[in-house]
Amino acid sequence: MKRIVIFASGSGSNAENIISFFREKPDVAVAAVLTNKSSAKVLERCDRLGIPAFYFNKPAFKNSDAVVNFLKGLNTDLIVLAGFLWKIPSHLIDAFPNKIINIHPALLPKYGGKGMYGDKVHQAVKDNKETETGITIHYVNENYDEGAIIFQAKTDVIPSDDANSIAQKVHQLEYEHFPQVIEKLLS
């Protein structure tokens, strides 16, 4: 049995989608969800889905081994960042080499880096009159959105799209592909 831990800071619709996907699979379990935001909607989802969820603050995350020890204690095989906004500290990356992945809502290397998240990404895609956007699933290194790319998928952007409709298209791609990419990585 392979064990995933999801990190999420916000709504957690990807987290829920991943949890639901692996409920049907005997070989993979979502062991827990971790968040840095005690008011994150993802916590309500975990409650409803019966998934253990835990909160950590910045000192515990950045300046201690608390999170690493916790993840080791869960026998974590893969850490999945799904809308998690803090930079991952190097001691955590070193403790889980090539075992931390992130999903970014654009076609990296475009529209990545510090401060590029959520609607800011989709608005920038709109403002630059891009004709396509998409998702990037990548390994996490010490720089925002710069680790090796594992998978990308594209969707069209048409002139009548706004940041909202672009976000919806991108979310559809995320729901369709993220669980399957995780499954492949674990097989």
Q: Which residues are known to be catalytic?
A: 104
Does 134 sit near ligand GRF (CB under 6 A)?
Answer: no
Q: Whole-number minimum distance, CB 92 to ligand GRF, in Å? A: 18
Is residue 2 within 8 A of residue 186, CB to CB? The reply is: yes
**Nearest by Cα to 5 from 81, 59, 103:** 81
> Number of C-alpha atoms within 13 angstroms, CB side, residue 80?
29
Place of tokens 């999420």: 8
Distance CA 34, CA 49 (A): 14
Angle at 140 between CA 165 and CA 109, to 5 degrees: 50
Does 105 sit near ligand GRF (CB under 6 A)?
Answer: yes
Q: Whole-number minimum distance, CB 73 to ligand GRF, in Å? A: 25
Binding residue (CB under 6 A) for ligand GRF from 43, 83, 133, 157: 83
Does 14 sit near ligand GRF (CB under 6 A)?
Answer: yes
Distance CA 78, CA 75 (A): 9
Does 11 sit near ligand GRF (CB under 6 A)?
Answer: yes
Q: Whole-number minimum distance, CB 181 to ligand GRF, in Å? A: 13
Give whichever of 12 and 147 is closer to ligand GRF, judged by the CB atom: 12
Give whichever of 69 and 143 is closer to ligand GRF, judged by the CB atom: 143
**Nearest by Cα to 173 from 161, 186, 149, 156:** 156
Binding residue (CB under 6 A) for ligand GRF from 2, 4, 6, 10: 10
Distance CA 129, CA 140 (A): 29
Binding residue (CB under 6 A) for ligand GRF from 4, 5, 12, 166: 12
Binding site for ligand GRF (CB under 6 A): 8, 10-15, 82-83, 103-105, 174
